[in-house]
Chains A and B, each alone.
Chain A
């Protein structure tokens, strides 16, 4: 069975979805990603969906769920590179993925993660 690779980059995890998502694959990704986050103690997750062309409400919900789960595990999730057609479809389905951070591409997403983590650390520092 095919799997979606999860790459570790420093304190972040990079997930690139290169194939069309089907439901089973999304469920597997959810399992794999949550266990990888807890194994590695990653601070951020980048999900690159620039090759994803087709979404349905289930995949949309999975993206939201994965982001929520990662947040519970103390890792920020950024969804990057969503295609216009995919964005329009999700909006028409009524899924605005509130609470999920987005960025145009992996670079911008990485930057976003770094700044948000940086401000977190500053805040933590000020408490000490």
Chain B
């Protein structure tokens, strides 16, 4: 069996070696017609990848036959990994990525038909090649999906970090602008970072701004109340700001009790209240400046 396999692969390998240039040229034509995305990759890059693929295929079939699980296909696999990973990043679709491998079939089959005269042999050779290329194509698609998942996971982590900035507005006044939907995992992070910041900055007032929260349902409201209660337990007051009309309606319709929580329409209103509680007063300086100008003029 092994010898038969090797012989077949030997055929495939020799056909590939002899018709390398033709296959390469036809393959490139094939791709430029259907799947090559000239907006994402230039021609030279694609040509380089195709040539490398062919060379590695020749090497692999020469050493390990047509069994794509064998060690001789390792360099081939790592090259496919690299290609599909870079294409996932560039924004190719999975089928476009896998078609990179599948589109070699037509030129390869043409070469096989030219090389072999016997119909049975041609069919046999084509079957071997199809099986091999299907495996490689599927592997490419698999790696593509894996790298996509990696990207998604990384972005999720980044979003979680980005989404909870606690900013200090004034001595003793913190603000937490929330953007996006709140779920349990995020609320946990939000709550922890807010409470940590309260301790660190010794703040007595924290403003939670929910202008960027698209919808408030019972779960989100529950999370907000928990955060407010936890802050109160530590000795800090919470003000919720940025409640939009629709959200106010939903909250009342859902029967959520926000009576114990101070709510304000905008962040600036909330800040004004916080400043008042902290005993701060803001005075416009305009008049004094005018006086100064007058003084200067007099001096001149």
Binary A-proximity of B207-219 (CB < 8 A = 1, otherwise 0): 0000000000000
Chain A proximity of B287: nearest CB distance (Å) = 34
Chain B proximity of A43: nearest CB distance (Å) = 19
Chain B proximity of A106: nearest CB distance (Å) = 11
A84 touches B195 (CB 8 A): yes
**A103: interface (CB < 8 Å):** yes
**B196: interface (CB < 8 Å):** yes
- Which single member of A84, A88, A96, A104 contacts B204 (CB below 8 Å)? A104
**A6: interface (CB < 8 Å):** no
- With a cutoff of 8 Å between Cβ atoms, the chain A residues found around residue B233 in the complex are 79, 82, 86-87, 90-91, 96-97, 102
- With a cutoff of 8 Å between Cβ atoms, the chain B residues found around residue A92 in the complex are 226
**B240: interface (CB < 8 Å):** no
**B229: interface (CB < 8 Å):** yes
Q: Please, how many angstroms separate the alpha-carbon atoms of A109 and B236 in the complex?
A: 11
B235 touches A88 (CB 8 A): no
Closest to A63 in B: B233
A104 touches B195 (CB 8 A): no
- Which single member of B191, B192, B235 contacts A102 (CB below 8 Å)? B235
Q: Please, how many angstroms separate the alpha-carbon atoms of A84 and B230 in the complex?
A: 8
Chain A proximity of B202: nearest CB distance (Å) = 6
- Which single member of B202, B203, B226 contacts A91 (CB below 8 Å)? B226
- With a cutoff of 8 Å between Cβ atoms, the chain A residues found around residue B231 in the complex are 87
Closest to B236 in A: A104
Binary A-proximity of B268-300 (CB < 8 A = 1, otherwise 0): 000000000000000000000000000000000
Chain B proximity of A34: nearest CB distance (Å) = 23
**Cβ-Cβ contact count across A and B, 8 Å cutoff:** 55
**A67: interface (CB < 8 Å):** no
- Which single member of B192, B198, B202 contacts A88 (CB below 8 Å)? B192
Name the prevailing secondary structure of the A interface residues: mixed
B234 touches A105 (CB 8 A): no
- With a cutoff of 8 Å between Cβ atoms, the chain B residues found around residue A87 in the complex are 195, 230-231, 233-234
**B199: interface (CB < 8 Å):** yes
Count residues on chain A whose CB falls below 8 Å from chain B CBs.
20
Binary B-proximity of A75-93 (CB < 8 A = 1, otherwise 0): 0000111111011101110
A104 touches B230 (CB 8 A): no
Q: Please, how many angstroms separate the alpha-carbon atoms of A81 and B235 in the complex?
A: 7
Q: Please, how many angstroms separate the alpha-carbon atoms of A105 and B195 in the complex?
A: 14
Q: Please, how many angstroms separate the alpha-carbon atoms of A90 and B234 in the complex?
A: 11
Chain B proximity of A48: nearest CB distance (Å) = 11
- Which single member of B199, B203, B229 contacts A96 (CB below 8 Å)? B229
**B186: interface (CB < 8 Å):** no
B235 touches A103 (CB 8 A): yes
- Which single member of B192, B226, B229, B235 contacts A104 (CB below 8 Å)? B235
Q: Please, how many angstroms separate the alpha-carbon atoms of A91 and B229 in the complex?
A: 7
**B146: interface (CB < 8 Å):** no
Q: Please, how many angstroms separate the alpha-carbon atoms of A117 and B233 in the complex?
A: 21
**A108: interface (CB < 8 Å):** yes
Q: Please, how many angstroms separate the alpha-carbon atoms of A108 and B237 in the complex?
A: 13
Given A102-B235, A108-B235, 11 more A-B residue pairs with CB atoms under 8 Å apart are A80-B235, A84-B230, A86-B233, A88-B230, A90-B230, A91-B230, A102-B232, A102-B233, A104-B235, A104-B236, A108-B204
- Residue numbers of B with Cβ under 8 A of A are 191-192, 195-196, 198-199, 202-204, 226, 229-236
Q: Which 3 A-B pairs have the closest CB atoms?
A: A84-B195, A103-B235, A102-B235
24 A-B pairs in the complex with CB atoms less than 8 angstroms apart: A79-B233, A82-B235, A83-B199, A83-B234, A84-B192, A84-B195, A84-B196, A84-B198, A84-B234, A87-B231, A87-B234, A88-B191, A88-B230, A91-B226, A92-B226, A102-B235, A103-B235, A104-B202, A104-B204, A104-B236, A105-B202, A105-B235, A108-B204, A109-B235
- Residue numbers of A with Cβ under 8 A of B are 79-84, 86-88, 90-92, 96-97, 102-105, 108-109
